[in-house]
Structures are given as C-alpha cells and as structure tokens.
Structure 1
Amino acid sequence: MTERIGPGAFVAVVGASGVGKDALMAYARERSEAVAHFPRRVITRPSGPGEDHEPVTEEQFTAARERGELAVWWPAHGLRYGIPASADVAVGAGRVVVANVSRAVLDELAGRYQRLVVVRVTVSDEVRAQRLRARGREPEPGIGQRLARPDPAPGHQADTVIQNDGTLADGGDQLLRVILDAAGAPLATG
C-alpha cells in the first residue's frame, strides 16, 4: 500500500449540481488564500459561463492522466473531470487543498490523503431547480434528470453539511470555518 499524502488536508466539497458549491468556494477562496490551495479542475468541456476550469480535449485529458498530471479523476455527465497533481504537492507541503469533487471518488481520496475532510453542500429542490435553470447549461429534460439522480456515495459520511438556502455569506462562512479548522488557523472576526 502506498503511503497516504500529508501532513496537509484535502477538503472535498461535494453536492449535486446547482447547490452552490462553486459560489461558496469562491467566497472562501478570497478569505483563505494564505492557508488554502484551490486547484482549477481539468474538464473535457469548452470554456464558457460558469465554473473557471482548465478546458481540454478528450485526448489531452487522457495524455495528462497517463503522465500522472492528475491526482484524481472521474467521469460524469458525459465529461471527464480531474484534479491536478498540484493538489498532492500542496497537501504534502502541509497546505489545505479545497476542491469540488464527485462523491464517487471519496473513497479514493480517503486512501490517498492522511486528512480528508468531506463537506456536503445541500439546498432545497426548489432552489436547486431555479439555479440549474438560471445557469442555462442544459435543457429542461436534463435539469429533471439531474434533480432525479441518486447520490453516488450515500454511505459516505460528511464531516460538515452546509444547507445552502441562505445568503452566500452564510454558507461561505461555514465553508471558511472548515478550511481554517483544517489549517489550524483562527477565524478572523470583524
């Protein structure tokens, strides 16, 4: 068995499409850059509105994976997603890495990192449907399919659950607390 990477921590932000993971992470990133690393996901999707990611072709993704440039990867929604290997370097250097990942890779992450913190973001179905429609990435039938999709890792416990029906600051501050706790840093007040 390979030794797990540490002493830093990997904060895995999980939740269904439309629950606000990217918004919460952007909020927390602005307030925790000194202690946390937020790698850009590599996705086989062209750039466009929404998540800031590294757009690649299928061939580029496969080549990056084969060269060991991805710490972890997974298929979802007809695309492939990956977290750059810079995450391993940062965790190995004692930093906190925060990334939006699929719940399907949580066991793999637990085997890879000494300290895995799972943050599950949820939201009411009504708010989620509104967000998916506003995002404009898919037609109505696709939204219905996303809303009906079962949890791919129902047995994996979350360390923290953020009910993201409130303001961005409400949810963002909860995620920020998790990151700062993982880093052993105090929460600034004021």
Structure 2
Amino acid sequence: MILAVVGPSGAGKDTLIAGALRARPDLRLVRRVITRPAEAGGEDFDGVTEAEFAARVARGDFALHWRAHGLAYGIPRDQVAGPGDVLFNGSRAALPEARRVFPGLRVIVVTAPDAVLAERLAARGRESAAEIGRRLARAAFVLPPGIEATTVVNDGTPEAGVAALLAAIQPMRA
C-alpha cells in the first residue's frame, strides 16, 4: 500500500509521520528530494540544485515529481519499489498524477485550525510574517476532483496526533 500524507504547512505532517514510523517499524518512509538546501531544516530530505533535480527527472529517477512554493519535489522510484507499506509527504496539487502513477494510492489529509498552523509556522522560523500569511491563505484544503481522503485533525499533543494518524492508516489495510 502506498500512502500520501498531505496537508497545509504547519499541520504537523512530519511530526506525525515520524511518530507513526516509531510505532510501526513495518512502515517505510520515502525520503523526498527537494530543491532546498539540506541545512534549511525541517524534514529529513535530500537537498539538490535545480540542475541536479532536472538531471534526475531526465534520467527517470522519480516515480513522481512536482513543483510547489517555488521548489521542486521528487519521490525516488527506487524508494517506492518493493514490499510493505510506503508513505510519503505529498502535495495536494500532485495528487491526480500520484493517483495515476500509484493506482492504489491512499490519501490522508493532516490539518489543524488556522491559529495552530500560524503558531507552528512562526515557531519553525523559516518564513516571514508575510509568507506565513500567504501559507495560511492557502491552508483551506480543497482536494482535486475525484480524490478521496481520510482527514486527521492534529490540534492536540503529538501523541494524540500520531494515534489519530495510525488509526487512519489501519482501516486502509482492510
């Protein structure tokens, strides 16, 4: 099973994914390739230049790639191959293509109230107040037509959020 975890910036996707991986060692996380310097912080990712990303696209290294927030993101083909359940931090804009590439794709939307999102975005210190405002304006999460998802509201403790994510994953296995 391949799971795409999507949601607005600050919803806590990376925190919940990390907790789910600790609780379920059978889950495999895709390490995304992003055109952002590795020292920018946040999730564990491979930071590459635009030129290197383009070269990897040309070689067919990615099962899925997209652009969002001025950056390029890629899901390495070799990381989704093989047995077991795989999850990746995705983008709602990339979901139609992801569904085409991964026909059995399951989608989980992680979200939180705007006040919680704003607080989390400010705490990570990567964006200015204006950038945070723009992210909040995009936070109303509308999925592309034809995409169904399970929603996890992450507005409490990390432990409660992880439990909610794990509960959302379980029925998908049935």
State TM-score, norm by structure 2.
0.91
Task: Count residues with an aligned counterpart.
Answer: 172
**What is the root-mean-square deviation of aligned Cα atoms in Å?**
1.8
- The answer to whether 1:46 aligns with 2:43 is no
Structure 2 counterpart of 1:42, one-letter code: V
Question: 2:94 corresponds to which residue?
Answer: 105
State TM-score, norm by structure 1.
0.83
Larger Rg: 1
Structure 2 counterpart of 1:163, one-letter code: V
Question: 1:145 corresponds to which residue?
Answer: 134
CA distance in 1, matches of 2:146, 2:120: 26
Equivalent residues of 2:95, 2:144 under 8 A apart: no
Q: Which runs of 5+ in 2 are unaligned?
A: none
Matches within 5 A, 1:115-126: 115-126=104-115
Structure 1 counterpart of 2:114, one-letter code: D
Structure 1 counterpart of 2:47, one-letter code: P
CA distance in 2, matches of 1:69, 1:32: 27
Equivalent residues of 1:120, 1:158 under 8 A apart: no
Equivalent residues of 1:164, 1:171 under 8 A apart: yes
Equivalent residues of 2:64, 2:101 under 8 A apart: no
SS of the counterpart of 2:19?
Answer: helix
Equivalent residues of 1:104, 1:152 under 8 A apart: no
SS of the counterpart of 1:86?
Answer: helix
Equivalent residues of 1:42, 1:53 under 8 A apart: yes
Equivalent residues of 2:152, 2:168 under 8 A apart: no
Equivalent residues of 1:96, 1:182 under 8 A apart: no
CA distance in 2, matches of 1:168, 1:41: 22
Q: Which runs of 5+ in 1 are unaligned?
A: 1-8, 185-190
